[in-house]
Structure 1
Amino acid sequence: MAPPRPLDALDARILQLLLERPRTSVREYARVLGVARGTLQARLDRMERDGLIGDPVPRLSFGALGHPVLAFVHIEVTQGHLVEVGDALAEIPEIIEAFSVTGGGDLLTRVVARDNGHLEDVIQRLIRLPGVVRTRTDVALRERVPYRAGPLVASLRRAAGDSG
């Protein structure tokens, strides 16, 4: 895999605009940025091809969907069973993300639940998966920094020499 190409100032401005106005048309983005629509489309196509941006997916509120409990479940897996456990996690709808990690476990999952009893049911389901040795659960009390990419993009924009 080739190393990522450094962002130039226009790339960074495009990313910032995508974050600030995700539902805007390409034509409007081009107008705001002061570039030709074809130039903008070529940049967007390259960013997508390079994996920098993906298909836009709405950011859902799991609380509004009736699943206000958020927990991070660390899973320790028997050696050699990481793939099978990962595949099994994908079958549990309450698991909204899972990562292989270093440190105090092999997998880290982000789990949503209707209430604490439902969370316990999900954890019990995890414990019964073949290859799972043990779990440790951290329940989130309050979101302190919501998902964001803007500050990083602003930093990259400054690094690319764009002060505007």
Structure 2
Amino acid sequence: MRNNLKKEKSILDGIDSKLIEQLYTNARTPVTELARAVGMTAPSVNERLKRLEESGVISGYRVEVNPVVLGYSLMAIVRMRQLPGKLKALEALIQSIPEFVECDKVTGDDCYIARLYLKDISQLDPILDQVSELADTNTAIVKSTPVKRRLLI
């Protein structure tokens, strides 16, 4: 019975969902504006946000940086299959190369799938040369992103 109550508490209602959507669009939205958007008072919205943070639904507020404005005009997806006994070394190498901005450890033929930003194509081979000492790679240049990271509610 207690587990069922706990599960029910974690379900978002329409107001929670609306608040999260607003913050996902702009994490700096003032509480007064959030309150207007959901038809509540600012103190009530503050309490909801506090509850969402304490329950772990909201785990942080982030800044989104545009890589193109910083000069990173290319994005690549690199699939990696580590060479025998090189898994930990490969993971450490990926973490040490700042152009790798995201990496997932996955099941299947590959062990890692990573997102890499480059200022130009000439940066790709030196990075892949480092990785190829520890893994077989398969790389694809991203042409566009029809579905950007989106809210899961």
TM over 0.5: yes
RMSD of aligned alpha carbons:
2.3
Please name the residue that 1:122 is paired with: 127
2:39 is the counterpart of 1:34 = yes
What are the within-5 Å matches in structure 2 for residues 1-164 of structure 1? Answer: 5-78=10-83, 81-128=86-133, 132-149=134-151, 152-153=152-153
Contact 2:77 / 2:115 at 8 angstroms: preserved in 1? yes
Alpha-carbon separation, structure 2, partners of 1:18 and 1:146: 16
TM-score by length of 1: 0.77
Alpha-carbon distance change, 105 to 6 in structure 1, aligned in 2, over 3 angstroms: same
Q: What letter matches 1:15 in structure 2?
A: I
Alpha-carbon separation, structure 2, partners of 1:50 and 1:127: 42
Alpha-carbon distance change, 43 to 107 in structure 1, aligned in 2, over 3 angstroms: same
Alpha-carbon distance change, 83 to 36 in structure 1, aligned in 2, over 3 angstroms: farther
Structure 2: 5+ residue runs without aligned partners? 1-5
Equivalenced residues, count:
147
Alpha-carbon separation, structure 2, partners of 1:48 and 1:79: 42
Q: What letter matches 1:65 in structure 2?
A: L
Q: Deviation string for 1:40-68 (max 9, x for gaps)?
A: 22221232233322332221111221111
How far off its partner does 1:12 sit? 0.9
TM-score by length of 2: 0.81
User: What is the SS of the residue equivalent to 2:60?
Assistant: coil
How far off its partner does 1:87 sit? 2.9
How far off its partner does 1:80 sit? 5.8
Structure 1: 5+ residue runs without aligned partners? 154-164
Q: Deviation string for 1:7-56 (max 9, x for gaps)?
A: 11221111122134433111221232122323222221232233322332
How far off its partner does 1:6 sit? 1.5
Contact 1:75 / 1:105 at 8 angstroms: preserved in 2? yes
How far off its partner does 1:77 sit? 1.9
User: Identity of aligned pairs, percent?
Assistant: 26
User: What is the SS of the residue equivalent to 2:29?
Assistant: coil
